[in-house]
Amino acid sequence: MRIHFEIDTKKWSADLSQPLDISIPIQEGLANPNCFYAPLSTFSPVIAGDFIGSTGKGGPVNFLTIQMNPHGTGTHTECVGHIADSSYTINQSLGEFHFVAKLVSLYPMRQENGDRMIERAQLETVLREGEAEALIIRTLPNGDWKRSHSYSGTNPPYIHQAAMTYLVECGIQHLLVDIPSVDREEDGGGLLAHRAFWIYPDNVRENCTITELIYVDDKIKDGIFLLNLQIASFEIDVSPSKPVLYQIEVP
């Protein structure tokens, strides 16, 4: 199936039969990435009397209870409710699901203190105002190890608050990254990058989102895509998510 749409009066099309999934599947235990010392995900059958919710254990159906922390164990999309005092939820904040997105690949810059950070100057070279509604950042080096890496206690790369301000200036409403957080692992609760992106608490961008712990295979080249950002309807600040890209072209 092919759809047709316009970007800045230019006509484009996308083939919906060729999705490019950039989410990390949710699996049990160590098969997933882990960060901020979150408990590992578990899938366990419901047991009630003689009933067991597992066909592998003799039950009539699979009827599993899932325990997981969306922020710490896989691809997730969060709203300003992640840092706000008010009860913003991802289900209420994200009301549209298709966006023009730009994928860029960047090396986080090494700082004097050893931190690795995406800086404003880097984004200024790859993104201009009004170019896209969503930005996807693939950090380099890239590799399949990102699907199951244990980030806890490793001080992974993050994004400088000035870089986030530049994204706001460019009109980026949705940011997707392959790192555990846009902020430093331990920052004393400052959350400066989150605050800069959502302009919290001064002028809150309540319909904007940040998606973390994606994985973009090297086979997907930098460029402009149609993004379908899929979430579950959770009335909390975050949901496990499934961002999917589609190549766009002139019909």
β-partners of residue 224 are 102
Judged by average pLDDT, the poorest of 63-72, 205-214, 242-251 is: 242-251
Q: Are 120 and 166 in contact (CB under 8 A)?
A: yes
- The model scores a pTM over 0.85: yes
CATH code of 2-25+75-249, in short, is 3.50.30.50
Q: What percent of the chain has pLDDT over 70?
A: 98
Query: Is pLDDT above 80 for 5?
Result: no
d(C-alpha 118, C-alpha 135), whole Å: 13
Query: Is pLDDT above 70 for 60?
Result: yes
pLDDT digits over 154-213, tens only?
A: 999 999 999 999 999 999 999 999 999 999 999 999 999 999 999 999 999 999 999 999
Q: What percent of the chain has pLDDT over 90?
A: 92
pLDDT, mean of residues 51-77: 97
pLDDT value for 101: 97
- Closest residue by Cα to residue 61 from 78, 75, 72, 48: 48
Domains of the chain, by residue range, sit at 2-25+75-249
Strand order of the β-sheet with 116-118 is 109-110, 116-118, 158-159
pLDDT value for 251: 64
d(C-alpha 122, C-alpha 163), whole Å: 8
Query: Is pLDDT above 80 for 75?
Result: yes
β-partners of residue 64 are 45
d(C-alpha 211, C-alpha 239), whole Å: 10
β-partners of residue 48 are 51
pLDDT, mean of residues 209-228: 97
